[in-house]
Amino acid sequence: MTPAERRTGASLAGIFGLRMLGLFLILPVFAIHARGLPGGDSLTLVGLALGIYGLTQACLQIPFGMASDRFGRKPVIIAGLLLFAVGSAIAAMSTDIYWVIAGRAIQGAGAISAAVTALAADLTREQHRTKVMAMIGSSIGMVFAVSLVAAPVLYAAIGMSGIFWLTAGLALLAIVVLRRVVPNPPKVEAKPVRFKGVLRNTQLLRLNLGIFTLHLVQMAMFVVIPAALVAKGGLPVASHWKVYLPAVLVSFVFMVPAIIVAERKNRLKPIFMSAIVLLALTQVGFLFGRTGLWPIALGLVFFFVAFNILEATLPSLVSRVAPPNAKGAALGVYNTTQALGLFLGASLGGWLNQHVGADSVFILTTVLAVVWFAAAATMLPPPKVASKSYPIGDGVDIEALRAKIVDLPGVREAVIETEARMAHLKVNLDRWDEARLRQLIGGEI
């Protein structure tokens, strides 16, 4: 990757991780803190305070994604970060559970995931996109593990109010990073696409099923795993980070080579399918192997290997399959199904664990992983896309040329530099008609 791509990936991973930090950082301590708030004795309201963040995220991912297609990625991301900061401030100043719920709802309303991922796709080349998505996707697992370690320490040092003020400050800092570090994306010419075209795209539907399943499995299994670590592993809750954090870190050792092979050897789909198989096998392992600390810890390592590979490859595939002028909308749908998976995973996992038993949770997650594998097996490989640049002849009307280039078979995106008289294209090599393009830019037609 170029230095600009590495800088973009690292910066956007930090911004994306901040969104998940707002969800994860209060999980280990909020239920205890809420007991001292008016209304905090209601477990229903405590659950609502935790979950409403995901609900408003799910409702607003698509509008934010579509807005980023129309008004630009950075303005939409900045608006979302400002909402997140305002929500954090309201939660920090809250004096009862109801104001915490309001603050959490406004936090979640800053639904920037689709815009952030679309911006990453705009600023990276196809051959390096999965690496950048891996940086962004890995931030979820890392933030989750770090939150389990840091939340009790931060709560003891600065309290719940301080945690909310901290996340507000980080949101404002993220705006500075976005404006000063992340480059502006080029203006892209592409064919307009209606939103229903995004919803009806069968390739995107398969990928949306994937992210829904992945996060449903994640949340459902973590309804059971903490109790298993206590009952079967003999590990107190305060020490669970000693399992989670090493599992996440070790998983990166296996995940990084897999991503490199997927990109360099053009093996993205085989790596993707292998990760789904590994996900299914980990659920079978948890079903039959929750017998002690080490089996559970080993299962978590393999789970995070699969999870991190899929978190990297899924948005990369969405950005490649989605119509260029609808990346934000496509990623908005994708992130909405992700949020629904988080919500249903926790809800179904809790209900099954209480009414049927812990084994039923892993039977459900195994079946869902197998269904996902069957759906993904019929998915077409991503199109072979190449970047090409061409000089435009002096006698050619550039404004008239724009629409003609976009209509050429195989052209996915076009950036026209008026002053330099250059056309920079991303083309689908299976449909590309270079001879026709050369006639256009040479003024022959």
Residue 176 identity: V
Give me the mean pLDDT over the 329-348 stretch.
Answer: 82
Lowest mean pLDDT among 72-76, 253-257, 353-357, 400-404: 400-404
Q: CA 115, 116, 120, 126: dihedral to nearest 10 degrees?
A: -60
**In terms of domains, do 182 and 238 share one?**
no
> Does a structural domain hold residue 141?
no
> Does a structural domain hold residue 139?
no
**In terms of domains, do 243 and 377 share one?**
yes
**In terms of domains, do 226 and 240 share one?**
yes
* Burial of residue 388, with CB atoms counted within 10 A of its CB: 0-12 exposed, 13-18 middle, 19 or more buried: middle
56-70 pLDDT tens trace: 888 888 888 888 878
> Does a structural domain hold residue 415?
yes
Between 19 and 219, the more confident residue is: 219
**In terms of domains, do 162 and 228 share one?**
no
Largest distance between two CA atoms of the chain: 78
CATH number for the domain spanning 393: value is 3.30.70.100
What is the three-state SS of the chain?
Answer: CCHHHHHHHHHHHHHHHHHHHHHHCCCCCHHHHHCCCCCCCCHHHHHHHHHHHHHHHHHHHHHHHHHHHHHCHHHHHHHHHHHHHHHHHHHHHCCCHHHHHHHHHHHHHCCCHHHHHHHHHHHCCHHHHHHHHHHHHHHHHHHHHHHHHHHHHHHHHHHHHHHHHHHHHHHHHHHHHHHHCCCCCCCCECCCCCHHHHHCCHHHHHHHHHHHHHHHHHHHHHHHHHHHHHHCCCCCHHHCHHHHHHHHHHHHHHHHHHHHHHHHCCCHHHHHHHHHHHHHHHHHHHHHHCCCHHHHHHHHHHHHHHHHHHHHHHHHHHHHHCCHHHHHHHHHHHHHHHHHHHHHHHHHHHHHHHHCCHHHHHHHHHHHHHHHHHHHHCCCCCCCEEEEEEECCCCCCHHHHHHHHHCCCCEEEEEEECCCCEEEEEEECCCCCHHHHHHHHCCCC
> Does a structural domain hold residue 434?
yes
- Which residues lie closer than 8 Å to 439 by C-beta, 6 or more apart? 445
The residue out of 341, 363, 382 marking a domain boundary is: 382
What pLDDT does 430 receive?
67
* Burial of residue 182, with CB atoms counted within 10 A of its CB: 0-12 exposed, 13-18 middle, 19 or more buried: buried
**In terms of domains, do 29 and 90 share one?**
yes
Give me the mean pLDDT over the 304-319 stretch.
Answer: 85
Q: In whole angstroms, what separates CA 371 from the centre of its chain? A: 21
**In terms of domains, do 244 and 154 share one?**
no
CA neighbours closer than 13 Å in the CB half-sphere of residue 371: 13
Residues 62 and 40: their CA atoms lie apart, in Å, by: 32
- pLDDT band for 214, please (50, 70, 90 cuts): very high
The mean predicted confidence, pLDDT, of the chain is 81
The count of structural domains within the chain is 3
Give me the mean pLDDT over the 181-207 stretch.
Answer: 74
**In terms of domains, do 311 and 276 share one?**
yes
117 phi and psi, to 5 degrees? Answer: -65, -40
Residues 79 and 63: their CA atoms lie apart, in Å, by: 13
Would you state the structure tokens that stand for residue 327, as one six-digit string?
């990346």
**In terms of domains, do 414 and 307 share one?**
no
> Does a structural domain hold residue 140?
no
Give me the mean pLDDT over the 302-331 stretch.
Answer: 82
Between 145 and 205, the more confident residue is: 205
Residues 197 and 13: their CA atoms lie apart, in Å, by: 29
**In terms of domains, do 364 and 402 share one?**
no
Confidence check: pLDDT of 329 > 70: yes
> Does a structural domain hold residue 430?
yes
- Domain holding 95, by residue range, is 1-134+150-188
Between 373 and 13, the more confident residue is: 373
Distances (CA, A) of 227 to 213, 232, 237, 248, 289: 22, 8, 9, 19, 14
**In terms of domains, do 2 and 95 share one?**
yes
Helices 327-355 & 358-377 angle (0-180, nearest 10): 150
CATH number for the domain spanning 199: value is 1.20.1250.20
Q: Residues 365, 366, 371, 373: is their CA dihedral positive or negative?
A: positive
Range of 189-193, 258-262, 397-401 with top mean pLDDT: 258-262
Beta strand pairing call for 411-417 and 385-391: unpaired
Residues 440 and 402: their CA atoms lie apart, in Å, by: 10
Residues 319 and 221: their CA atoms lie apart, in Å, by: 29
> Does a structural domain hold residue 154?
yes
**In terms of domains, do 11 and 159 share one?**
yes
> Does a structural domain hold residue 362?
yes
Would you state the structure tokens that stand for residue 22, as one six-digit string?
């707002």
Give me the mean pLDDT over the 310-332 stretch.
Answer: 79
Residues 84 and 190: their CA atoms lie apart, in Å, by: 32
Give me the mean pLDDT over the 36-53 stretch.
Answer: 80
Query: Which pTM was predicted?
Result: 0.73
Contact criterion met (CB below 8 Å) for 251 and 301: yes
**In terms of domains, do 400 and 369 share one?**
no
Between 346 and 444, the more confident residue is: 346
